[in-house]
């Protein structure tokens, strides 16, 4: 058996427990970089002389740097969020890996720009390697797939829709430049070719020497004015980037359809089928379907396997669409399902492996068949967004996109004359194939370092993420079992929104016997304001949480099912159409220890009791 990583040795630690090692590595990277500068043409005379370094203006300038740094340090300590602490249960961020931090810090001294290989010969190679690693993690063949680092999941989502949009227009473009290739297909058939078939046709156009002309006849050259590429279907739980994406790419928000979610906040597959059937009936193409692996509000995992099955059934009927998975948040959790040799585990072995390796306790029944099958089906998607700066525990900014078939990047590639030589067939000309231009090589180095230290399977990332899921699931079970909090002559209950698919838990407090949704919303908003930056510097807060509002506008009638559990008057939901809930993103791996968890749970309950008491006092 390969050695598993010790999670406690990966982070600086909530109390800087690994400070000595981290500082030792900081000294090494500074010494190493300084030696690199000194050894570059060592016979060159120093530019800055010892005499100049003793002059007053030189010393004054250094002092200004020192003072600015001290001011920044003070500002950061007062106003920053303590991601490192298990008391932080707010947004989707937490402590970052020492390896990633050190890789970033070392590389920023070299300041590589991964737009072009000439400006980043070291880190461009690292980014290509990282792209293959992420492709393998998602279940793709790394030799056939393509992946790269972005500034975040938003840009990765933009790129996926950019790919889908341009790809959808290729068959019609081929009819214009090489009609013999598609002579037996009508317009509806052209708009419903599977991704692989389109890329095969594009490859034939490339062999025929008409690839550039084909692209000029596509949406890339002709624009969206005369194009009807169809609708983009996303779940109601989608990230806000999709609303932006259809705007930026000229698809238009009227072509973005929100598919209802069920009471577990996963996409309703029956509703998805109903929507696609309606579009097929009106001969309206489906440009793309987006599934979410870890929604930002609830952490829900859409039933990807059912969407894949649905797509397969439609393709038999001559209807197809691009499938993208927005796994910006949850993508790295796939490591939980890969054994020490990166093989995907059978369902009946997953829980045994988790328990046997001490990742999840044997009595934790977190994994459901639906989540397992969704994870297993991920390689069937055309592209996937995954963010190293979320469950990869990498410092910002590091998102990523991976595509199943690397041929697709030729559909959107560009060459800027002053950056690239068009005759250069170097495969590492990143700037030609991506949406962004200049980009920090340090981000790629940080991800590479993390992957070098933490395996992308059950022995590495699986342990970190498994610990966080264990903590989230315990928190969920504790909420269910919690006794009402008594404050004066009133009692307050707390209920979770839904069972967590990963490690996000939403919940709300409610005064027993009070049927007012207005009062319930005010209660939870007041609790949030006491447990966030709203109450002033968060360093003194007992717990830090986040919040969200589940509205009728965004989610339809689904949140009403949660509201009913509290005995809220039905008319209140009809009138307000919004319920305010607290959200805990439990990314910390430090809740696994029994003693630690019980201590933090009791602290949490006491903190909530104090918060509710203060609300009563202020009222």
Q: Which residues are the active-site residues? A: 418
484's tokens: 């009402």
Q: Decide: helix, strand or coil at residue 57.
A: helix
Stretch (H or E) spanning 375: helix 369-376
Q: Is-contact 594 475, C-beta < 8 A?
A: no
β-strand partners of 582: 507, 547
Nearest-angstrom CA–CA distance, 110 and 104: 10
CB 559 within 8 A of CB 551: yes
DSSP tag of 393: -
Taking the CA atoms of 205, 384, 115 and 155 in sequence, report the sign of the dihedral they define.
Answer: positive
Distance between CA atoms of 392 and 379, rounded to whole angstroms?
A: 19
| CA-CA-CA-CA torsion sign (312, 300, 360, 100) | positive
DSSP 293: B
Taking CA atoms, 32 is separated from 106, 507, 604, in Å, by 9, 49, 45
Task: Yes or no: say if 448 and 126 are a contact pair by the CB < 8 Å rule.
Answer: yes
CB 418 within 8 A of CB 116: no
Indicate the SS3 state at residue 545.
strand
Answer yes or no: are the C-beta atoms of 533 and 608 closer than 8 Å: no
Asked if 86 contacts 14 with a C-beta cutoff of 8 angstroms, the reply is yes
Task: Find the helix or strand (DSSP H, E) in which 585 lies.
Answer: strand 578-585
d(CA 103, CA 113): 15
Q: How are beta strands 256-259 and 231-235 bridged, if at all?
A: parallel
Strand runs labelled E in 44-152: 88-89, 146-150
- Alpha-carbon gap, residue 388 to 456, rounded angstroms: 12
Report residue 144 as tokens: 């056939």
Q: What is the largest CA-CA distance in the chain?
A: 83
Vertex 604, ends 601 and 610: CA angle to 5°? 145
Q: Given the structure tokens 């989608």, which residue do they identify? A: 238
> Rounded to an integer, what distance in angstroms lies between the CA atom of residue 177 and that of residue 187?
15
Is 162 within 8 Å of 435 (Cβ atoms)? yes
Helix axes 304-316, 369-376, angle to 10 degrees: 60
Q: What does R_g of the chain's alpha carbons equal in angstroms?
A: 26
CA gap 570, 499 in Å, rounded: 24
Q: Provide the H-helix boundaries in 454-504.
A: 461-481
In angstroms, the CA 144 to CA 158 distance is 22
Residue 141: partners with Cβ closer than 8 Å, 6 or more residues away: 135
* 551 sits in which H/E element: strand 544-551
How is residue 93 written in tokens? 């961020």
Order of strands across the sheet with 256-259?
146-150, 399-403, 383-386, 322-327, 286-292, 231-235, 256-259
């Amino acid at each position: 058996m390969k050695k598993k990583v010790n999670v406690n040795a990966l982070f600086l630690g909530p109390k800087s427990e690994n400070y000595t090692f981290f500082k030792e590595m900081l000294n090494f990277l500074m010494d190493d970089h300084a030696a690199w500068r000194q050894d570059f043409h060592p016979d060159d005379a120093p530019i800055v002389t010892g005499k100049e370094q003793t002059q007053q203006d030189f010393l004054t300038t250094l002092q200004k740097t020192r003072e600015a740094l001290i001011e920044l340090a003070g500002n950061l300590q007062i106003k920053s969020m303590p991601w490192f602490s298990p008391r932080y249960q707010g947004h989707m961020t937490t402590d970052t890996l020492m390896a990633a931090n050190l890789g970033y810090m070392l590389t920023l001294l070299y300041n590589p720009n991964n737009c072009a290989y000439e400006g980043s010969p070291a880190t461009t190679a690292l980014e290509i390697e990282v792209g293959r690693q992420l492709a393998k993690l998602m279940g793709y063949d790394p030799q056939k797939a393509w992946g790269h680092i972005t500034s975040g999941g938003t840009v990765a989502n933009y790129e996926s829709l950019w790919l889908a949009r341009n790809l959808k227009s290729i068959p019609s473009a081929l009819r214009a430049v090489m009609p013999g290739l598609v002579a037996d297909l009508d317009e509806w058939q052209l708009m419903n070719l599977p991704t692989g078939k389109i890329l095969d046709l594009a490859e034939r156009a490339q062999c025929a020497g008409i690839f550039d002309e084909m692209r000029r006849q596509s949406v890339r050259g002709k624009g969206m004015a005369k194009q009807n590429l169809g609708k983009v279907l996303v779940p109601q739980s989608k990230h806000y980037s999709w609303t932006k994406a259809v705007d930026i790419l000229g698809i238009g928000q009227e072509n973005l359809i929100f598919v209802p979610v069920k009471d577990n906040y996963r996409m309703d597959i029956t509703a998805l089928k109903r929507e696609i059937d309606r579009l097929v009936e009106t001969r309206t193409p489906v440009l793309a379907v987006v599934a979410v692996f870890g929604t930002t509000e609830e952490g829900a995992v859409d039933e990807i396997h059912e969407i894949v099955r649905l797509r397969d059934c439609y393709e038999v009927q001559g209807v197809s669409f691009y499938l993208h998975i927005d796994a910006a948040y949850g993508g790295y959790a796939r490591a939980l399902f890969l054994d020490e040799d990166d093989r995907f585990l059978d369902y009946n072995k997953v829980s045994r492996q988790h328990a046997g390796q001490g990742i999840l306790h044997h009595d934790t029944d977190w994994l459901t068949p639906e989540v397992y099958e969704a994870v297993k089906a991920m390689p069937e998607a055309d592209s996937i967004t995954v963010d190293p700066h979320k469950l990869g525990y990498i410092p910002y900014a590091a998102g990523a996109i991976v595509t199943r078939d690397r041929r697709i990047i030729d559909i959107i590639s560009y060459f800027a004359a002053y950056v690239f030589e068009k005759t250069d067939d170097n495969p590492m000309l990143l700037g030609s194939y991506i949406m962004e231009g200049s980009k920090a090589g340090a981000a790629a180095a940080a991800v590479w370092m993390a992957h070098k230290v933490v395996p992308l399977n059950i022995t590495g990332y699986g342990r970190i993420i498994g610990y966080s899921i264990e903590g989230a699931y315990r928190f969920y079970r504790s909420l269910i079992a919690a006794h009402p909090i008594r404050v004066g002559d009133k009692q307050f209950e707390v209920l979770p929104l839904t069972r967590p698919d990963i490690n996000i838990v939403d919940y709300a407090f409610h005064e027993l016997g009070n049927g007012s949704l207005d009062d319930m919303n005010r209660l939870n908003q007041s609790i949030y304001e006491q447990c966030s930056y709203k109450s002033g510097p968060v360093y003194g807060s007992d717990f830090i949480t986040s919040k969200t509002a589940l509205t009728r506008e965004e989610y339809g009638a689904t949140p009403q099912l949660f509201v009913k559990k509290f005995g809220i008057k039905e008319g209140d939901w009809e009138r307000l159409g919004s319920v305010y809930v607290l959200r805990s993103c439990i990314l910390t791996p430090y809740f696994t220890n029994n003693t630690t968890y019980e201590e933090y749970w009791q602290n949490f309950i006491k903190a909530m009791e104090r918060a509710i008491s203060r609300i009563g006092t202020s009222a």
